[in-house]
Amino acid sequence: MARKSILVVDDEKNQREILETILSGEGYDVTTASSGEAAMKFVESRRFDLVLTDLKMTGMSGLDLLKQLTDYDKSIIVILLTAHGSVDSAVDAMRLGAFEYLQKPYDSENLLETVSRALKKLNTLDAEIISVSPEMDKVKKLILKIAKSNATVLIRGESGTGKELIARSIHANSLRSNQTFQAVNCAAINENLLESELFGHEKGSFTGAVAEKKGLFEIADGGTLFLDEIGELDISLQAKILRALQEKQIRRVGGTREIDVDVRVVAATNRDLLHMVEEKRFREDLYYRLNVLSIDLPALRERRSDIPVLLDYFLKKHTRGTDRKVSIDTAARKLLEDYSYPGNVRQLESAVERAILLCENDTITTDDLPPEVTQGRTAAAAAASGLFTLPPEGVNFEDVERTLIEQAMARTDNNITKSAKLLGLTFRTLQYRLEKFGLKRDESGEGQGTNE
């Protein structure tokens, strides 16, 4: 795990050296600055998790530095130190967003305990969910309700909706937040290698096993293990994960002894696991073991009020540490805000990052946007101006809806996933519409566009 980085700011050399010695001795990556101005240059060039700053300094004061830091990046945690403490300055510091206020002379134990608490808060900030929408507000409230439990959680949502972010937020708000969070994408690793990745292996258990290896269940002991794309697991591996969840024990590949593990498992999928259970492609007992608590993530097009907020967040994220001040012109911003994003938040971030790299004069224009964003807008404009013009006599809306669904299913060879993307619907919503109109899906679950 990467060492936490701390910036120490004090205009007295001996104070900087004392703090550096104490913090470095605890394994922190420490940088020192002799002034607030120097500190800001460091912050603008690299990422720091925590800033410890003196209050009274020549030039920029600690309070002024605090103001600049919070304006630049609200996720940076600031602790103020001073030999000239007063109630007023303490109140000002806390009001401006300081995490804590410590008076000199401080003892190292109290200092380290404060730093530890501050970095524990950072775990939650690292998993901050950028959102203003009521849909995601419900998700955040649900996270807080279930985080303190040790029960398994199943997160459902389309690709790119931020399922790992939700898993990290659950961990950060849990009683295990001081322990490790481990993640693995079950679809990205070969089946045989995945077993070793999860459960570890003994030396000589297979070709290439030149030493024993701990698996993620062991590494995550006491913490949280995130199993992404759980629906891609082979049936035989599903059985082993079920046993680990039920018995809280694992056995390494090639091993004979049982190893006790205390792990909270959070799983995620973009698949319909219940349908997979019906088709005997996913174990029913594992499904119910994973689905003790569940969270359904809305697609980005279902929480459109978050798009402007995410745009600004990603713009800042991908220019942090550079000297660029990139903006988005009105036309480009409208295209980005109006697009449907079938790839969800991941696609939005990719579009912003691409535009930052391509834009000239640090202003993003429509020429810097991905073709799918500009073409999507063109198609929508054409539809609004002609294809879907409401006739004077009105329409039967259900007939229009049914016709569009039939056309989408025909165009995608009855594939529900692809049809849902064409129509700007979620997989589950389109499933519901198909049942509503009697357009039954076929045995494979991909859908059938014929009437019954």
Mean pLDDT in residue range 310-335: 90
Tell me which of 1.10.1760.20, 3.40.50.2300, 3.40.50.10860, 3.20.190.10 is the CATH number of domain 5-125.
Answer: 3.40.50.2300
Q: In the sheet where 77-82 sits, what is the strand order?
A: 29-33, 5-9, 50-54, 77-82, 100-103
Query: What is the CATH architecture assignment of 134-296?
Result: 3-Layer(aba) Sandwich (3.40)
Alpha-carbon gap, residue 12 to 51, rounded angstroms: 16
pLDDT at res. 448: 39
List Cβ neighbours of 272 (8 Å cut-off, separation of 6 or more): 427, 428, 431, 445
Residues of the chain with CATH 1.10.10.60: 390-452
Mean pLDDT in residue range 240-265: 95
Mean pLDDT in residue range 381-409: 69
Is pLDDT above 60 for 384?
Answer: no
Mean pLDDT in residue range 261-281: 94
Residues of the chain with CATH 3.40.50.300: 134-296
- Percent of the chain having pLDDT more than 70? 88
C-alpha torsion angle, residues 411, 415, 419, 421 (rounded to 10):
-130
Alpha-carbon gap, residue 399 to 199, rounded angstroms: 54
Alpha-carbon gap, residue 131 to 289, rounded angstroms: 30
| pTM of the shown model | 0.61
Residue range 80-97, pLDDT digits in tens:
987 765 556 666 677 677
Split at pLDDT 50, 70, 90, the class of 329 is very high
pLDDT at res. 320: 78
List Cβ neighbours of 181 (8 Å cut-off, separation of 6 or more): 167, 168, 171, 220, 223, 224, 226
pLDDT at res. 208: 81
Split at pLDDT 50, 70, 90, the class of 411 is confident
Burial of 351 (0-12, 13-18, 19+ CB in 10 A): buried
Alpha-carbon gap, residue 252 to 200, rounded angstroms: 5
Mean pLDDT in residue range 283-290: 97
Q: Which amino acid is residue 278, in one-letter code? A: E
Query: 98, 79 in Cβ contact below 8 A?
Result: yes
Helix axes 87-95, 62-72, angle to 10 degrees: 10
Lowest mean pLDDT among 176-185, 214-223, 296-305: 176-185
Split at pLDDT 50, 70, 90, the class of 75 is low
Q: Which amino acid is residue 218, in one-letter code? A: E
Give backbone dihedrals phi and psi of 93, rounded to 5 degrees, phi first: -60, -45
Alpha-carbon gap, residue 81 to 107, rounded angstroms: 12
Is pLDDT above 90 for 67?
Answer: no
Residue range 122-181, pLDDT digits in tens:
655 456 788 999 999 999 999 999 999 999 999 999 999 999 999 999 998 898 887 888
Lowest mean pLDDT among 45-49, 344-348, 374-378: 374-378
pLDDT at res. 207: 82
Give backbone dihedrals phi and psi of 210, rounded to 5 degrees, phi first: -85, -10
pLDDT at res. 225: 95
Mean pLDDT in residue range 100-120: 84
Give backbone dihedrals phi and psi of 232, rounded to 5 degrees, phi first: -90, 0
C-alpha torsion angle, residues 167, 169, 173, 178 (rounded to 10):
80
Split at pLDDT 50, 70, 90, the class of 99 is confident
Lowest mean pLDDT among 227-236, 301-310, 443-452: 443-452
Split at pLDDT 50, 70, 90, the class of 287 is very high
Bridge partners, 183 (sequence order): 226
- Percent of the chain having pLDDT more than 90? 51
CATH says 301-387 is which class?
mainly alpha
Helix axes 36-45, 62-72, angle to 10 degrees: 20
Query: 31, 42 in Cβ contact below 8 A?
Result: yes
pLDDT, averaged across the chain = 85
pLDDT at res. 20: 93
pLDDT at res. 382: 46
Count other Cβ atoms within 10 Å, centred on residue 228.
Answer: 20
Residue range 216-242, pLDDT digits in tens:
999 999 999 999 999 999 999 999 999
Domain 390-452: assigned CATH number: 1.10.10.60
Split at pLDDT 50, 70, 90, the class of 121 is low
Alpha-carbon gap, residue 77 to 69, rounded angstroms: 9
Mean pLDDT in residue range 45-49: 80
- Backbone angle region of 112, left / alpha / beta, with phi > 0 → left and psi within -120 to 50 → alpha: alpha
